[in-house]
Amino acid sequence: MRYRRSDVPGASYFFTVVTYGRQPLLARAEAVAIFESARRSVQQRRPFVLEAQVVLPDHLHALWTLPDNDSDYPTRWRLIKEAFTRGYAGSNRVQEPDPRRRARGERAVWQRRYWEHLIRDDRDFSAHVEYIHYNPVRHGLVKAPADWPHSTFLDWVARGNYERTWGSDDMPKLPRAIGRE
């Protein structure tokens, strides 16, 4: 059966992208910088609005809005993953344990697929932004979203969308399906 992805031009999408075998490849700031460089490079060539993002040691979440008449996020993710893999493998040892993947020229950096969710309305958008920003707390990496350096949370604070202390005391009330889609 062929996997079918949402295909709505100009829409907003939530993504979860995971490293191969949940390796903590993104745990170091240098690796996050390589990822950010790859994303920015692709974003310049194939524009999209990065609404929110968090990069964790073994996965990341992002919310993008694509341009009108454009629904090609799969190519963008492929290009980002390829650019990151080249940059990361240039200074880090990456072994591909699976001979079938090795024969196809793949490296053990990213899981092949990723999760996408078509954002349906403003409430869905807000819930996913909160999920993204609260994720480092949810995983026990920090006590408050403002403490995690690899997130757009402080950008949202600077724009007046959050208080800096948001998520410090209580988990935000999110729909049960968020993060389980």
Q: Which domains does the chain have, with CATH numbers?
A: 12-120 (3.30.70.1290)
- Averaged pLDDT, 52-81: 97
Q: What is the pLDDT of residue 95?
A: 65
What percent of the chain has a predicted confidence (pLDDT) above 70? 88
Please indicate whether residue 108 or residue 75 has the higher confidence score (pLDDT). 75
Q: What is the pLDDT of residue 108?
A: 77
Q: What is the pLDDT of residue 1?
A: 55
Phi-psi region of 69 (alpha: psi -120 to 50; beta: other; left: phi over 0): left
Q: What is the pLDDT of residue 105?
A: 61
Helix (H, G, I), strand (E, B) or coil at 14: strand
Q: How confident is the model at residue 122 (pLDDT cuts 50, 70, 90)?
A: very high
Structural tokens at position 173? 């009330």
Secondary structure of 25-81 in HEC code, one letter for each residue: CCCCHHHHHHHHHHHHHHHHHCCCEEEEEEECCCEEEEEEECCCCCCCHHHHHHHHH
* pLDDT, averaged across the chain: 90
Neighbour-count burial of 23, counting CB atoms closer than 10 A to its CB (0-12 exposed, 13-18 middle, 19+ buried): middle
Q: What is the pLDDT of residue 119?
A: 97
pLDDT at 84 over 90: yes
Neighbouring CB atoms inside 10 A of 61's CB total 22
pLDDT at 127 over 60: yes
> How many whole angstroms separate alpha carbon 51 and alpha carbon 68?
16
